[in-house]
Structure 1
Amino acid sequence: MDRNDRVIKTTIIYFMGNFASKILGFILLPIYTAYLSSADYGTVDILMSALPLIAPIFTMQVTESVFRFLMTDETRDDRSKTFTNALAVFVFGLSVFAILYFPIGIFLKFQYVFLFFVYFLATYLGIFLQQVVRGLHRTVEYALSDFIFAAVNAILNIFLLIGPGLGGESLLISSIAGSLVISILMALRTKIWQYIDLKKISKEEIKKQLKFGLPLIPTQIAWWVIGLLGKYILISFHDASDNGILAVTYKFPNLIILINSIFLKAWIENVITEFEAEDRDEFFNRGLTSFTVFTVSMTACLLPAIKIYNLLTIGGEYKDAWIFVPLLMIGSSFNSLATFLGAVYTASMKTKIALITTMISALCNVVLSFVLIPLFSIWGVALSNMISFAVLYFIRIKSVGNIINLKIDFPKLIPSLLLLMITLFVYYTLNIYWQIVAAGILVLFTLYLNRNLVLHLWNYARKNIKF
């Protein structure tokens, strides 16, 4: 199987699990907005959003290092050594978290103290095991775990919100249950205990994993700053209802992240395995051009559909959420493109460069957030995020060019950029009926701009799917 087919195959597997699962959360959005007040939704969203800030410190990012090293481990002994040492670091980190958490939580008297503790442990146990399964090249099990998590989460959310009416607690309880279910299933499916060998615990292996993972701690925190600091500043200068509206608004640009993350998971695996190939630069440059055209044209294609969905299904306090979507969508597009470039840092194990580029973007976000959000509320969040992700993208273009011979085919990008500009005009000026017409036309244009990708997918399907 050639490289392109391997990328497509892995992407399809991830699509069947990840996209189908994540879209359930999007479908449930009307239920959340109907049964949760914007203040209640905003409070739980703040707690869940805090996880990416706290977790890297205590997990020491072994969730990333275990994946990276398992990907290239060739023998069972190597895999056992990698997993056992990663597990030791992971358990140690969570133990420290448990010791520190309750005194601080009880002293501060914040809401959902015990539930958040269980949510933290269950979530990162699930993430750790998912990364192990992915590193073992068990892509089907990895994708299936995402789908099972979403199904359990969705069913319990519906039951707990509509039945007992638990409110914000239902979101945490449902997520805990989903994480525990997939953790048990992944452990049983892969017989993960067979890779545990305490005799293989060594300082050298732990140092190797920490050398890769530790620079990712401030990197991950910087990502949190870029993506989530705005929520905390917003709630400080305005109120929880504004953050509730922002949480709903984020569901739409997160579609870009969701769709692209499926491909990016497959892409990074192939960049790692192909990094020493002679034609790696050509392979990467073709991928970057195609991915950029796809991301920009998909953003244009989704905007009218999002406005139609918003106007037809979301009302009450959340009815104006659509106004802020385009800036956040463009920011998410820059985010996806920067992540695409970041695959080079992972493959080359130059995580310190990933840290530097992300910190610059985070600093930009901090300054803009404190200036713009007090003045412009949700608009300030959208602007600061869009600019910060754009800064990250352009810095990474420069830095990745120092690792590989990076060449961007700019003429191929112009049609998709023009399409996005026209779509923004349509989005803000035309009524819902013209939005429907525009959505249909944009689908055709998007298919045309991505015709090579569509053709490749079609040829792959004809060769590999038998009816």
Structure 2
Amino acid sequence: MNRNKLLVKNTIIYAVGNFGSKFLTFLLLPFYTYYLSTGDYGYFDLITTTVTLLIPIITFQITDGLYRFLLDSKNDNDISRVVSNSFFITLTNLFFFNVIYIIFVQFKSFQYEYLILSQINFNIISAFWAQISRGIRKNAEYSISGIVGTIIVLSLNIIFIIVFHFGVASLILSNIISCIGVIIYLEFRLKICKYIRYSLYDKKLKKELLLFSIPLIPNLVSWWFMNVSDRYFINLYKGIEANGIYAVSNKFPAILIMVNAIFSLAWQESAISEYKSKDRNKFYSNMFNILMIIEFTSVIVLLPLTKFAIKYAVNDKFHEAALYIPFLYVATILNAFSSFYGTGYLSTKDTKGAFYTSSIGGIVNVIFNIILIPVIGIQGASISTMISFFVMWILRIFQTKKYFTIYINKIKLLSLSLISALYIFFYYNNNIMVEIFLLIISFIIFLVYNKNLVSKTIKYLTNKLIFVKKDVV
């Protein structure tokens, strides 16, 4: 299959399983902000933040090694060797973590400690099963598992919050049951357990997996510092309620993060497959410039839409969240750029570069959080995140030149940056007529800059529709 078509196909598959389902989560934001206090929402956000930090440390981020090595597997025996040895590492680490955790909570108890432990365990196992489905190129099953998980978590959230009044526990329980649902679905469809065999224990392969994955731990911890450590500094300097406000602010950039995650999942496979091709630089450059345009124009559209969403879809007690969203949108753009360049580390199996660049970005974020949050409050966290991702992207531009060269369309980068800056400036204007005008212009800007993509999409959908009609006739 043509590489562009394969990338589009995989993007569509991941979009079906991720964007549609995750978008439902965003639509439930009014529900969460109505039934949960700012303190409750802030506490749950801290739980999620902590779990996100712990998982790569507990697992040695072996899921990335699992996925990368599965892509190189030639047959079922190769798949079984990779899956089995990755599973042994994961299971051993989980055992030791559970023992340490249980001992720890005997001396330092906190709310929902055993529910949180269950959430960590099932999150890790479900992520392991999901990554196997990707690695053996069962992308459709991977996406459907995402839909299954989301339907379960959203349904149970509503039941547990409204009917049983479980509060924060509702969100944790829903997540646990959703992970179990994902595991059951993938096992039923793919029979993953058949790949796990103790007889295939391979010390050499285990070492290779660890050498690939372990350097990604500080990389992901650094990403955590840039993405979510802000919550801890806000909680330290401004309190748990301020953290709840900031958590809602992050729900809006989460829309764009979903899109980025979908593209990243598809791009990883294409980038790794095409890494040794002769026109690699041209292919990578073309994909990056398309991504760049989509990122900026999407933010230009989202900025005016966000003002209306905050006013009419979010409870009044969370309206302050609107102030911190623009810089988080910019941070999301820079995050996407950094991730795109970061694929080079996976392609070459040289993950040490990811560690260096992410570590520097994480340090920058912590420094600016300490400097800015006490002075300008929550806004300091959003600006710190933006600066840290910018630093990491610039570092990766220079560091990845030994792998590939991406030629950025500087004219479009400059023009879109200026337009975005103007939209951020007018975002803080509270004139309704100005907001409506900017919203209309934003759609025009999106269509102008993405005319080729829009044209091809319309043509593709039209052809599909004609094909379906012919089949019906």
- If the TM-score is normalised by the length of the shorter chain, which range does it land in? over 0.9
Percent identity over the alignment is 32
Alignment of 1:12-411 (within 5 A): 12-411=12-411
Alignment of 1:442-457 (within 5 A): 442-457=442-457
What is the CA-CA distance between 1:340 and the residue it aligns to? 0.9
What letter matches 1:195 in structure 2? Y
What letter matches 2:161 in structure 1? L
In the alignment, does 2:20 pair up with 1:9?
no
Counterpart CA distance in 2 for 1:109 and 1:273 is: 48
- CA deviation vs aligned residue, 1:376-406 (integer Å, no higher than 9, x gap): 2211111111100111111111111222123
- CA deviation vs aligned residue, 1:139-179 (integer Å, no higher than 9, x gap): 10111111111111101111111111111100000111111
Counterpart CA distance in 2 for 1:256 and 1:406 is: 23
Counterpart CA distance in 2 for 1:74 and 1:431 is: 61
The SS at the match of 2:404 is coil
Counterpart CA distance in 2 for 1:116 and 1:287 is: 40
Counterpart CA distance in 2 for 1:35 and 1:76 is: 49
Contact 1:297 1:419 in 2 (8 A): no
Counterpart CA distance in 2 for 1:412 and 1:227 is: 27
Counterpart CA distance in 2 for 1:432 and 1:209 is: 56
CA RMSD of aligned residues (A): 1.3
Q: 1:433 to 1:180 in 2, by over 3 A?
A: farther
Which structure 1 segments of 5+ residues have no match?
none
Query: 454-463 or 379-388: which moved more?
Result: 454-463
The SS at the match of 1:413 is helix
Q: What number of residue pairs does the alignment pair up?
A: 467
Counterpart CA distance in 1 for 2:455 and 2:106 is: 58
What letter matches 1:411 in structure 2? I
What is the CA-CA distance between 1:321 and the residue it aligns to? 0.9
- CA deviation vs aligned residue, 1:407-456 (integer Å, no higher than 9, x gap): 21212323322321232233111433432342232122112201222233
Counterpart CA distance in 2 for 1:179 and 1:440 is: 41
Counterpart CA distance in 2 for 1:270 and 1:460 is: 21
The SS at the match of 1:319 is helix
Query: 399-408 or 76-85: which moved more?
Result: 399-408
Q: 1:141 to 1:455 in 2, by over 3 A?
A: same
Contact 1:8 1:457 in 2 (8 A): no
What letter matches 1:253 in structure 2? P
Contact 1:215 1:355 in 2 (8 A): yes
- CA deviation vs aligned residue, 1:166-199 (integer Å, no higher than 9, x gap): 1110000011111100111101100112212221
What letter matches 2:278 in structure 1? E
Counterpart CA distance in 2 for 1:246 and 1:115 is: 24
Counterpart CA distance in 1 for 2:17 and 2:58 is: 29
Contact 1:70 1:82 in 2 (8 A): yes
What letter matches 2:265 in structure 1? K
Contact 2:49 2:229 in 1 (8 A): no
Counterpart CA distance in 2 for 1:200 and 1:464 is: 46
Q: 1:460 to 1:400 in 2, by over 3 A?
A: farther
Counterpart CA distance in 2 for 1:341 and 1:327 is: 21
Query: 457-466 or 229-238: which moved more?
Result: 457-466
The SS at the match of 1:147 is helix
The SS at the match of 1:320 is helix
The SS at the match of 2:407 is coil
Counterpart CA distance in 1 for 2:463 and 2:62 is: 39
Which structure 2 segments of 5+ residues have no match?
469-473
The SS at the match of 2:131 is helix
Counterpart CA distance in 2 for 1:436 and 1:16 is: 31
What letter matches 1:264 in structure 2? S
- CA deviation vs aligned residue, 1:305-361 (integer Å, no higher than 9, x gap): 111100112133201211110011101110111011111111111110010000011
What letter matches 2:375 in structure 1? L
TM (norm. structure 1) is: 0.97
- CA deviation vs aligned residue, 1:200-234 (integer Å, no higher than 9, x gap): 11110100100110001111111111111111111
What letter matches 2:136 in structure 1? L
Question: Stretches of 4+ moved more than 4 A in 1?
Answer: 462-465
Contact 1:296 1:420 in 2 (8 A): yes
Contact 1:305 1:436 in 2 (8 A): no
What is the CA-CA distance between 1:264 and the residue it aligns to? 1.2
What letter matches 2:415 in structure 1? P
Contact 1:308 1:436 in 2 (8 A): no
Query: 126-135 or 395-404: which moved more?
Result: 395-404
Q: Look up the match of 1:428.
A: 428
Counterpart CA distance in 1 for 2:288 and 2:313 is: 36
The SS at the match of 1:429 is coil
Counterpart CA distance in 1 for 2:424 and 2:380 is: 19
Query: 451-460 or 162-171: which moved more?
Result: 451-460
